[in-house]
Amino acid sequence: MADDFKFYTELIVRYEETDAMSVVYYGKYFVFFEVARTEYLKNIGYNYVNIERDGFYFVVAESNCKYFNPARYDDDLKIFAKIEYVKNSSFNFLYNIVKKSKNENENSSEPDANIAKGNTVLVCVDNEGFRPRRIPDYLRKAIQNFEGF
């Protein structure tokens, strides 16, 4: 569950993210994952712009999503993210998307609704030839410190 995650970001579903059935189009969840990835890195002190300036890109080598309930226009979502493991040149992000309860009563025990879960495996490459590179030590240490492994 979301209790395993130390980080989340929030997003309100925009109209353009919905399809003709008035639900979030399935491909948009990968955009939500990217939003969480970007915010996660900022949260641990780094962002893609600075990492790219250092000569590194992170390319998605694998992505998966399992859908449980539909998200709709104007839903308030929490997108949880964590890094499951770090290898020499790759790492795995896990995601859990939940819809926040609309109940204004903070004492309510109404749970958030599970929307989707997924993961992305990212590979570190150089920004010239896209050859695999070792993840920079400063980023590896920041991830390990934040995740506690």
Residue among 92, 94, 90 at smallest CA distance from 135: 90
Residue among 95, 9, 91 at smallest CA distance from 58: 91
Q: What is the pLDDT of residues 37-73, one digit of tens each?
A: 999 999 999 988 999 999 999 999 999 999 999 999 9
Total count of domains within the chain: 1
Residue among 108, 62, 115, 51 at smallest CA distance from 84: 62
DSSP result, 40-53: HHHHTT--HHHHHH
- Cα(140)–Cα(77) distance, rounded to whole angstroms? 28
Structural domain span for residue 24: 2-104+111-147
Reported pTM:
0.90
Kindly report the CATH number assigned to the domain that includes residue 39.
3.10.129.10
Q: Which percentage of the chain shows pLDDT scores above 70? A: 93
Q: What is the pLDDT of residues 94-121, one digit of tens each?
A: 999 999 987 655 555 567 899 999 999 9
